[in-house]
Structure formats: C-alpha cells, structure tokens
Structure 1
C-alpha cells in the first residue's frame, strides 16, 4: 500500500457476515487519490457490501478503515457528505423530469442556486434538450448519465460506483467511461465495481474479490502476471469440437472459444506445450503462442476460489 496521505480509502482486515455467512473476509486494500480503482468479482463476492461499509451505510463486524481520512465506523455521516454513491439500481424519481431531479438533489445538499447548479450539470453531461423529459421515460444510457450528474452535483471528493453500466449498451458505456476519466483527470477519485473486462482494463488499478476474499490487486498487467497463465491460440476447421478433449489434458487449465479459434491456458509452459504438440503437428490445425488476458485471469481465479455460500 502507498502512504496513508496518498490514499482516499484504506482498510485493514475488514470483515462482515450475514446470517452466519462471511460476505467480506479480512479485506485489506487501498485506493490512491485521483485514480480509478476497479473492483472485480463474481456475484456474492462482497463488492457491494464493501462499498456500503466504506461510506458508513454498514458497520463492519471487525477491522478498521478510513475513507477520505475519516473513520468508516464513526464518521459515516461526514463521509457521505463528501462522497457520490451511484447504486446498481436507478434511484432518482421516475415521475420527475431531469431538471426537477437535479434541482431536488441540489436542494438536499444545501447548494446555493439549485437552478443554476442543475443547468450546469445538464450542460456538462450533454443532457440539453432533454431537461423536461421524465426520468422514468429515459433509456438505460440516459438514466445512467442523469444518475452520474446527480452524484457529481455536490462536487464530491470520491465517487463510489456500484456496477453503474449494467444493462447499458456499449456506446453508452464508452461515453460513461470517457466522462469518468475526465472527472479523474480533474482530481476526482473513483472506486467502481464491474463485471466487464473491457471496463476493468480502463482502470488505473484493480482489486479482484472472490467470495469475500481479496485474491489479487494491482495494475491489469500485475493481475494477469500474478495468475501465472501461459496462453496458446488454436485454429482450424471444426476446432471447437476439440474443446472437451483439450480440457482433459495435463497442463491445460482453461479452454475458451474465441471466434473461430480456441484460447488455451495453463500454468506449466513446458507441460502445456507438450500436451499441444500432437495438435501443432497436424496439418489442419494451427497452434500459436499468445498472451493470457485479464478475462483468463478472472475466470481462473474465480474457479480456484471457494464459494463462501457453499456448504459443501
């Protein structure tokens, strides 16, 4: 971890259980100021629970932590005044217009001249011409943009985004991330949970949670390297019929279709190459050494982790 003065979030040994099941298990992590920090993991990995503890909406069972230099167990109200929190579900008023929602948020936060602040947000986020449209009638992408506008209206020091692009089309996701990077360039710190690998690759650093435990963290390159996976691409006529056969071979940990090819990964480079040698020798199949991807690392780490809701 970096020095505490450089971190907007720093937690040590944070744990939380519900109904006897540990949802967050001794989590330690830090988020550097002015960075976009990606939070990855399968459903049930503890991402949302962690985000809620960070802003004082949930009290941890054990562990310590600070958010914006404030104690997460004692200073929840003060933290929330300085944080923009965008939940998975659209949480603004469906029967109010875009402008009415933004003016309402401005008043809730006690901002001067709510009408002016709403107008500034509308212009900044490209919502001009839609300000009289009811929020409930917006598409997923426009709802997302409105929610982001509401989160950033009070000029927070930190954004907590909980799977903000779920169900949004690729164009809207790309536009959303362009805005997030523009905000980060202005000094805003961001912690964002996501399932999308292309979004994770847009983050400065990522942390991967699997069933409550932090498995790995760092840059995307760090995380891929930590998986230790070697990769090959296999292509040829009807190559997908070989997937089940390849999965049973020694040294092969993952096999995934990629277009007209198979992406094959394993930890032991020599054993992997040995298992693929008979296929490489065939005239109808092409085997080419490649590089493991973040998705490879994600799937491997998930498969290697124990489900904390598995009673077996």
Structure 2
C-alpha cells in the first residue's frame, strides 16, 4: 500500500509552559485535499510547522513524504511547498523577479525556463513586470502559490491562504488547488471559510491544541449529533430572546427573517422551540445541520489552553 503523505502521532509542542499542540494524531493520504479547521489560536499554524520541518516537536513521532519528522526535517522541507498567512515576498521586486529569487534559493537548473513556465501555468505572464507591492490580494495570493509550486513539491501546506481576498479570487484559487491535486499533489489547507472546508476531501478540526473531529464533511456533521430547527415569522427577534437558556438549546443564530436553533438533545430542543413558537406565532421547520453549526458547537465545548 502507498504510504500516506502525512502520518503523525501524538504531536505535542509547548511554548513557555503552555501546550500549544496537544497530542495530535493526523493522517493525510497522497493526492488528498485535507482541510484543517479551528478558531484563531487553536494551534493550526504550529501543527503545520511541525509537519513541514520548521519546528521540532517536544513529543510525538511521524513521517511526512516518507521522511521522519524528527531526523529528516531538511529532506521534508525540500519536498514541501509552504504558503504562510502573511505575504512574504519582496514588494519592491516584480512578480518575475520574486520568482527568479525563489528559483535561486532552490538552486534550480534552467531557472529562466522554470520561471517562464510558472508564470504561464499560474496565469501571471501578463503581470510579470508588475511590482509585488502593487498587487491586489488575489494576485498576491497567486504569486505566493506560484512560488510554492515552482520547485514541484509533493505536498502543499497552505495556512489560511485566502484570508482577505474576494469571492471570485477565492474560487479561482480553489479551482487551481483541485487542478494541482488531480495531478497527484497532496494539499493540507487551513481555513476559516466553511464553503472552502466543504471543497476538501476530508477535514480535521483542531480546538485549543487538540484534534477533536476528523472525516469527510458528511461524517463530521453526522458525528456531531446535532439537530437544527428553523423558525420563521414576524416575531423571530422575540423568539430568540425567549429561547436564551431554554432546555436543549445550544445555539441561536438569526439568518435574515429566520432563526436557526441548534441543539444536541433533539427532543428537548423541539419541545422548547415549539413552546416558544406558540407564544410568538412563528413557524417551525426541520433543517440540515451545517458545518458552521458543528464548528460553533465544537468551539463552545472546548477549553482554552491559554486560560
């Protein structure tokens, strides 16, 4: 059987007495697009850096692209493309100059040809002479991706790559990710956007350093065991106030003229919602639980490891 691209067990990392990554076990198959979800400060970035060879774990073991994460970090770095949250290229150099600089760092042969091919493949040729500092968020993102893939990595690690870009640029970016994955590239991407998580083959949810959910989107939603009811009518604002603290109610969220009410105890939730619906003259209908509902529920149930 083909060895997974990532297979790590019990990864732990501490900073100043605080456990930032706590006993994380994770597997990513080759050719898979794996989502990495979690709130700010949950340990996503630190976990990614542990796996791509930039940090040494305090405990745990594993292999990335067939290399031991403790003893072969240099070999892992050469086979991974890592895109950080912050744009990290020279803003006073052009797109082409930045890519040429990266090609030099990797000591790539035929650098001019590699840069030209990368410009063409990522749709950057028409802007090759534009200064990186003058690019919009979407074009900066495309430049960063180009620099990550030009050395033909086997694994791409993307840390919140689409933060701050418009929906069109986000969709174009994800179309490119799926194109790369179809050619055999493995991708691990952290994101806060639920629509992006739904485009991953599998997702992994980390909260305050601990991995608390794994699987396909359908599996994660099903395993959360949540029930969602939707209230509609003219008095949903009043219904929301009355539902605060009611039995079985874990989440209350307005969506336009409707109110989404979520809970783990389906029977108790329905009793409370139907009682308030009678009082307020609102209507009740069942709805599918969303990944966002699960995300919020997992956040509410986690303990802050920095507290």
- Is 2:214 aligned against 1:214? no
Q: Deviations over 1:81-111 (max 9, x none)?
A: 0000000011111111011111121122122
Aligned equivalents of 1:171 and 1:61: distance in 2?
A: 41
Whether 1:78 aligns to 2:86 is: no
State TM-score, norm by structure 1. 0.96
CA contact 1:279–1:287 (8 Å) conserved in 2: no
1:34 to 31, 51, 72: 31
Q: Does 1:306 align with 2:303?
A: yes
CA distance, structure 2, for counterparts of residue 283 and residue 104 of structure 1: 65
The match for 2:242 is 245
| Structure 2 residue aligned with 1:10 | 7
Matches within 5 A, 1:170-181: 170-181=167-178
Separation in 2, partners of 1:72, 1:243? 50
Deviations 1:1-49 (A, max 9, x none): xx7x341001111100101000000111101110100000011111100
Offset at residue 244 of structure 1 (A): 2.7
* Cα shift readout 1:281-311 (whole Å, capped 9, x = no counterpart): 468411101111100000000000000011x
Residue in structure 2 matched with residue 51 of structure 1 by the alignment: 48
Instruction: Name the residue aligned to 1:271.
Output: 268
Work out whether residues 240 and 261 of structure 1, in 8 Å CA contact, stay in contact via their aligned partners in 2: no
TM-score of the superposed pair, with normalisation by structure 2 = 0.97
Query: By how many angstroms is 1:280 displaced?
Result: 4.0
CA RMSD, 1 decimal: 1.2
Shift of 1:52: 0.6
Q: Measure, in 1, the Cα distance between the counterparts of 2:172 and 2:285.
A: 35
- Alignment-derived partner of residue 111 in structure 1: 108
Structure 2 SS opposite 1:274? helix
Cα distance in 2, alignment partners of residues 137 and 251 from structure 1:
52
- 1:134 Cα deviation after fit: 0.4
Aligned pair count reads 307
Distance 2:113 2:256 in 1: 50
| Match of residue 144, structure 2, among 139, 142, 147 | 147
Gaps of 5+ in 2: none
Tell me the distance in 2 between the aligned counterparts of 1:81 and 1:248.
53
- What does residue range 195-206 of structure 1 map to in structure 2 within 5 Å? 195-206=192-203
What is the alpha-carbon distance in structure 2 between the residues aligned to residue 282 and residue 240 of structure 1? Answer: 13
Match status 1:184 vs 2:181 = yes
Asked if the contact 2:247–2:272 (Cα under 8 Å) also holds between the matched residues in 1, the reply is yes
Deviations 1:216-270 (A, max 9, x none): 1000011111111000111111412322321221011111111211111111211
The secondary structure found in structure 2 opposite 1:84 is strand
SS in 2 for 1:51: helix
Contact 2:158 2:189 in 1 (8 A): yes
Counterparts of 1:19 and 1:109, CA distance in 2: 34
SS of aligned partner of 1:129: helix
SS at match of 1:7: coil
CA distance in 1, matches of 2:125, 2:242: 56
SS at match of 1:165: coil
Residues 80 and 154 in structure 2, CA contact (< 8 A), matched pair in contact too:
yes
For the residue of structure 2 that corresponds to 1:206, the secondary structure is: strand
Name the residue aligned to 1:235.
232
Measure, in 2, the Cα distance between the counterparts of 1:170 and 1:65. Answer: 36
Is residue 102 from structure 1 mapped to residue 99 from structure 2 by the alignment? yes
SS in 1 for 2:19: strand
Within the alignment, does 1:261 sit opposite 2:258 as a pair? yes
Alpha-carbon distance in 2 for matches of 1:282, 1:242:
8
Q: Which consecutive residues of structure 1, in runs of 5 or more, have no partner in the other structure? A: none
**Comparing 239-248 with 142-151, which one deviates more in the overlay?**
239-248
